[in-house]
Amino acid sequence: MPNPYFRFKQFTIHQDRCAMKVTTDACLFGAWVAARIPEKASSVLDVGAGTGLLTLMIAQTGNRLIDAVEIQEADYQQAAENIGQTAWHASIRLMRGDVLDVVFQKKYDVIVSNPPFYERDLKGGEQPKNIAHHSEALSLGELLSFIRKQLVSGGSFFLLLPARREAELLRLLEPLGLHIHHCCYVQQTEKHAPFRIMVAGAFEKKEHKEEGRILIRNRNEYTPEFKTLLQPYYLHL
């Protein structure tokens, strides 16, 4: 059974009522995004807030206004509690609803999402987990169209996806005029194939897409690259 809470250096994530729990790859993504957000970016939107983890990791690194949207009531309530106990609560606005139905009053410098991973996959019997893990409420195509609509012209977007969906992502991005600037492949160890991709993109098309990789572990220890990214957050780093 997952731990009911996850304590970081500057905040605590309670997750006993959330369908999507704290995972190592989600923490890595949050740290990777926070390190890459341009300093001039003043407005951020987190699509699918879940526990509030990604929102809080970004909030820790800069003085920004952050909006976050969560569709599920239980997750929304717990994220609100997690955010409300931090020093950054006044700069975060958490909204309950479907991003496709919410009326936004502005466009954003940065849009980030750790979206539902699976489409057309076998589902379990728990509906909240199905919504969190499968694209029942928000498909990847819908998410990318939303990003195109709500991102400012010079803005950036960040996504975490299963590595096997890279070709699908590229196919969907092209007609929307969105382009990948950096793709980082995440591997559990050197012996494992990539299981996640962390993507940074924008409207502007670059001649050469940057590529990188991060190994989470080397034998039984976190790798130096992983430690460097997570050191500001993990208690024991």
Q: What is the mean pLDDT of each run of 10 residues along the chain (237 residues)?
A: 85 92 95 95 96 97 94 94 97 96 95 74 44 59 97 97 95 96 97 97 93 95 97 96
Domains of the chain, CATH where assigned? 5-230 (3.40.50.150)
Does residue 157 contact residue 147 with C-beta atoms inside 8 Å?
Answer: yes
Q: Where are the beta strands (DSSP E) in 108-195?
A: 108-113, 151-162, 179-187
Task: With CA atoms as reference, report the closest residue to 128 among 209, 197, 70.
Answer: 70
Q: What does the alpha-carbon distance between residue 136 and residue 119 come to, in Å, rounded to a whole number?
A: 8
The pLDDT value given to residue 122: 42
Does residue 222 contact residue 186 with C-beta atoms inside 8 Å?
Answer: no
Tokens of 89: 């609560």
The string of pLDDT tens digits covering residues 55-97 is 999 999 988 999 999 999 999 999 999 999 999 999 999 999 9
Q: What share of the chain is helix, strand, coil (3-state, %, to 5)?
A: 30, 30, 40
The pLDDT value given to residue 121: 44
Residues 6+ apart with CB under 8 A from 47: 69, 99, 111, 112, 113, 115, 138, 143, 146
Does residue 70 contact residue 76 with C-beta atoms inside 8 Å?
Answer: yes
The pLDDT value given to residue 138: 85
To the nearest 10 degrees (0 to 180), the angle between helices 73-84 and 53-60 is 30
Residues 6+ apart with CB under 8 A from 148: 176, 177, 178
Query: What is the length of the chain?
Result: 237
Task: With CA atoms as reference, report the closest residue to 113 among 159, 147, 45.
Answer: 159
Type and span of the H or E element at 73: helix 73-84
Rama region for 2: left / alpha / beta (φ>0; ψ in -120 to 50; rest): beta
The pLDDT value given to residue 125: 45
Pairing of strands 108-113, 217-218: unpaired
The pLDDT value given to residue 161: 96
Tokens of 114: 């750790």
Tokens of 50: 């879940």
